[in-house]
Amino acid sequence: MYIFLQKNVITSNGLYLYLPKVSQAIFIIYRIKINNMTKQALSFSRKDPAKFFKTLNKRVNDYFKENNLKRTGNWKLYTKAIVMFSLLIVPVVLILTVDLPTWAQILGMVIAGIGMAGVGMNVMHDGNHGAYSSKSWVNKFMGGSIYILAGNVYNWQVQHNVLHHTYTNIPGHDEDLDAGRVIRFTKEAKWEKFHKFQHYYSIFLYGLLTFNWCLTTDFKQMAGYLKRKLSYGEVKSPKILWTTLVITKIIYFSIWIAVPMIIGVSWWKVLFGFFVMHSDHI
C-alpha cells in the first residue's frame, strides 16, 4: 500500500494547509487513537460528526477569497528567495574570487550558512510543498534547491509531507522527533542524564545534524522508505531514485569541496568553511 497526501494546498506567503489523505480515505487528525504497544499502531476515525474538516476547509478558503490573496507565493516570498539565495551564493563567490583575509572568509561562510538555512526553511520547503508558485515546474525547480543543501527531494517529501504532516508530533511515526540519543524531543524517548543539559548544548549540535544528512541519513532513509513503499505524488522507479541520489551527492561534494580545492583554496580552509557553514545554520 502506498501512502499519499492529497495535494490540496491553501497557502500564501508560506502559510499552507495540507489535508491528509491516506488510502483515499479522509481521517480526522484530532481523533487519533494510539495503542499501548512498543511500536505504536494508529487508527484514524473516518467519521466527522462535528464537521471539523469541512468547516476548517471552508473557513480557510473564505479567508483567502475575502482578502483577495493568492494560494501560492507572492512578491514577498519571491523577494525573500532572492535574499536567501544571495546570502548563500554571494559570500562563496567572493571567497573563491577575491583574496580575502582569513577572518573575512570565516565570516563569509557564516553568512553562507545563514543563507543555506534560509533557502532550506523557506524556498526549498515551499517549493516541495507545491506552494511557491502556481506553476509546477517552478515548484520543482525551487524544491530541487535541496540538492545544493545536501538533501534529497524524494526523502524530504516522504519525511515531511507524508510522515510529518500526517502523524504530526506522534512518536515513532513523525521522524522530525527523532534526533538520535543526543537530543530528546519527547517523553517517550529514552532519557539519559546528559539530557538535562540539552538546552545548553543543543543550540551548538543541532546544526551539525546536517552532516549526517549529507553523509549517511539520505541513504538510510531512501532504503527504508522504498522498503515500506512510501511515496509522495508520482511513484518513481527505485533505480531512478537511487541514481538521482548518488549523482546529486557527487555534485554536492564537488561544489562545496572539490571545486574550491581545484581553484586553489587550502584543503583545511575548505573543510573548516564547510564545517562552519553547516554548524551555524540552526
Say whether 42 sits in a helix, a strand or coil. Answer: strand
Instruction: Give me Rg for the CA atoms of the chain.
Output: 21
**Coil, strand, or helix at residue 231?**
coil
Instruction: Give pLDDT < 50 ranges for the chain.
Output: 1-38
- Domain extent listing, the chain: 75-279
Question: What are 236-246's pLDDT values in tens digits?
Answer: 999 999 999 99
Residues paired with residue 12 on neighbouring β-strands, in sequence order: 15
pLDDT tens by residue, 152-209: 999 999 999 999 998 899 888 899 888 778 889 998 889 999 999 999 988 777 777 7
Side-chain-facing half-sphere of 36: CA atoms under 13 Å: 0
Per-residue model confidence (pLDDT) at position 24: 32
Count of C-beta atoms within a 10 Å radius of residue 15? 14
